[in-house]
Amino acid sequence: MNTTRSTAALALAGMLVFLATGIAAQCLRPELDWVRVPNSFYLIGPWGGMVRAGYYTLALALVLFGAGAYRALTPAARSAAPALLFVAGGAALALTAIETTDTWNHPPTLHGYVHGIAAQSAFLCTATAMLLQSWRLRGDTRWRRWFRPAFAYAALCFVLLWVQAFWRASPRGLGQKALILLMLGWLVIAAWQLLHHHDEESA
């Protein structure tokens, strides 16, 4: 199997595992108000291990996708920046799962601070990587037709990331989950295109 194709397939599988564990957590933790409660709270308590496994799987998927997307472009269109940002986003996501978040009505802790910084870094690194990776598509004739939709979608995610960061009155759980779904949507589509594109080339 082609290395880029197998990498894309593994990345796509990891993204879908994260989506499945996230949906399952919402159903298995009805005591948590999904509109108000951020995703970090699902890492604590019942089924927390399952949610952490989903985080680790997505972290690996980001690294694999970054490597696969880099290899898929022609040398002239390649850039190490998005690949490295996907790796940084994956590492930050794994750290987010390792460190426990602070909960309401409890004093702040060091691990809660690290968790918060790691979570913000995971969002920022991944959203920026999506934007830069989309921009690189314009330099490859095989991928140029995907540049506009991919860049527009990534730009939307990037803008919404900052809207959520500064709009403190928004429901934190709902806003965060919507942003995660949007970003995951871009990643799933991109991984699928990466996999499908190599199928077309080898046909």
pLDDT digits (tens, 9 = 90+) for 50-83: 999 999 999 999 999 999 999 999 999 999 999 9
Q: Name the one residue in this structure whose structure tokens are 């894309």.
A: 8
Contact 132, 81 (CB under 8 A): yes
- pLDDT value for 202: 45
- pLDDT value for 165: 86
Q: Which helix (H) or strand (E) holds 172?
A: helix 172-202
- pLDDT value for 203: 43
Range name among 22-26, 144-148, 153-157, 164-168 with the lowest pLDDT average: 164-168
- pLDDT value for 59: 98
Q: Of 198, 184, 202, 190, which Cα lies nearest the Cα of 72? A: 198
- pLDDT value for 198: 54
pLDDT-above-70 percentage for the chain: 97
CA atoms within 13 A on the CB side of 46: 9
Q: How far apart are CA 123 and CA 92, in angstroms?
A: 9
Q: Name the one residue in this structure whose structure tokens are 């919507």.
A: 178
Q: Is the pLDDT of residue 1 over 70?
A: no
